[in-house]
Amino acid sequence: MKTLVIVEHDNENISSSTLCAVSAAQKLGQDVDLLVASSTNNIAEKAQKIMGISKVLNFVGDNFKNEIAEDLTACVLEVSQHYNFFVASSSTTGKNLMPRISALLDVQQISEVIEIVDNNTFKKPIYAGACIATVESQQEKNIITVRTTAFEKALSEGGSGQIENIDIPETESRKSVFVGNELTVSDRPELTSADIVISGGRGMQDGNNFALLDSVANKLNAAVGASRAAVDSGFAPNDYQVGQTGKSVAPNLYIAVGISGAIQHLAGMKDSKTIVAINKDEEAPIFKVADYGLVGDLFDVLPELESKI
């Protein structure tokens, strides 16, 4: 049997989380095919170059411009009989889509996998990362979403997969319609793929103070994140949120500023290679996971840091 990975994209580029899903899928030791549903052929042409994949199943139609779960589900079901593993990243797109497929194939999905022990056994965080569960599935088909920080990215060049164009399955009249979006525009790298991330917590005191993080981030070419406490207080938009209910990141350098280190935040960043904590409370739990801790007032530390980088 074979493994099918659902490709996520914005009709121009393939998302880096898909590359992580591909490398997770390759650990299952089966042929890996990709499913692309897009408004252009451009994505399938990029997908076929991903290292180590066999085939690209290509669905092209205007319906697929916005990754509506109902439409993508119909594509996956159309080809599902050839596959016993279905893999996507645990991005909001993967989370939105995969359970819909699972229900129709009568499969209990396994979410946020961080380790593939063998083809029936998986590890995943539960209780906001406070515990790690090892789960076993004896199902004929398995559907998993993988946490991207736990798997390295497959190479986006060097592969030579074959593109197979597939007719769009007939779907009932569309009950779910895209109205619009407001995407955060930034010149800086994306949070989940940045080499350096600097995040602010409740200690930032005000949304305007995030400008202090921005200046440091600009110098380091870093992405800016936030703790849930900062997001809940309205200091930063929700898509900045790092943690169990937000994004998981694992950059080379993670700088936590004014973040106490609640378990929910740690769950989203503790796999970072080097962690720096800047906090005026020397008892803050964040220091327990930091490689380098600096006890001090962030309003003094950040400008000094910015001037000396």
Partner 1 sequence: MKILVPIKRVNDYNVKVRPNQSNTDVDLTNVKMAVNPFCEIALEEAIRIKEAGNAEEVVAVSVGTEKNQEQLRTALALGADRSILIKTEMEVQPLDVAKILAKIFEKENPKLVLMGKQGIDGDHNQTGQMLGAMLSIPQATFASKVEINKDSANITREIDGGLETLSVELPAIVTTDLRLNEPRYASLPNIMKAKRKPIDEINVEELGLSIEQKVKTVKVESPSEREEGIKVDSVDALLDKLRNEAKVIE
Q: How far apart are CB 219 and partner 1 at their closest, in Å?
A: 9
End-to-end CA distance of the chain: 52
Question: Residue 262 gets which letter from DSSP?
Answer: -
User: Which positions from 157 to 196 touch partner 1 by CB under 8 A, shown as an x/- string?
Assistant: ---------------x--xxxxxxxxxx-------x---x
Contact positions with partner 1 (CB under 8 A) in 47-86? 66, 68-70, 73
Q: Candidates 19-27, 29-37, 122-130, 152-160 — which segment interacts with partner 1 by CB under 8 A?
A: 122-130
User: Which positions from 236 to 275 touch partner 1 by CB under 8 A, shown as an x/- string?
Assistant: -xxx----xx-x----xx---------x------x--xxx
How many residues in the chain?
309
- Of 16, 39, 119, 137, the residue at the interface with partner 1 (CB under 8 A) is 137
Q: Which amino acid is at 59?
A: F
Which residues in 42-67 are b (16+ Cβ under 10 Å) and which e? bbbebbbbbbebbbbbbbbeebbebb
Angle formed at CA 202 by CA 197 and CA 208, multiple of 5 degrees:
75
Q: How far apart are CB 40 and partner 1 at their closest, in Å?
A: 19
Residues 24, 146: contact at Cβ < 8 Å? yes
Q: How far apart are CB 178 and partner 1 at their closest, in Å?
A: 6
Residues 225, 213: contact at Cβ < 8 Å? no
Q: Candidates 33-41, 52-60, 151-159, 235-243 — which segment interacts with partner 1 by CB under 8 A?
A: 235-243
Does 206 bind partner 1 (CB under 8 A)? Our answer is no
Residues 225, 149: contact at Cβ < 8 Å? no
What is the Cα–Cα distance from 99 to 78, expressed in whole angstroms? 16
For partner 1, which is the closer residue by CB, 66 or 119? 66
What is the Cα–Cα distance from 245 to 231, expressed in whole angstroms? 11
- Of 151, 210, 235, 287, the residue at the interface with partner 1 (CB under 8 A) is 287
Distance of CA 260 to the CA centre of its chain: 24
| Backbone phi and psi for residue 63, each to the nearest 5 degrees, phi listed first | -55, -25
Sequence-distant (≥ 6) Cβ neighbours of residue 19 within 8 angstroms: 50, 153, 154, 155, 156
For partner 1, which is the closer residue by CB, 103 or 211? 103
Q: How far apart are CB 300 and partner 1 at their closest, in Å?
A: 9
For partner 1, which is the closer residue by CB, 160 or 186? 186
Q: How far apart are CB 152 and partner 1 at their closest, in Å?
A: 18
Q: Candidates 22-30, 38-46, 126-134, 162-170 — which segment interacts with partner 1 by CB under 8 A?
A: 126-134
Q: Which amino acid is at 83?
A: Y
- Of 25, 56, 99, 265, the residue at the interface with partner 1 (CB under 8 A) is 99
For partner 1, how many residues bind (rule: CB under 8 A)?
87
For partner 1, which is the closer residue by CB, 165 or 292? 292
For 82, left (φ over 0), alpha (ψ -120 to 50), or beta?
A: alpha
Q: Candidates 23-31, 57-65, 127-135, 162-170 — which segment interacts with partner 1 by CB under 8 A?
A: 127-135
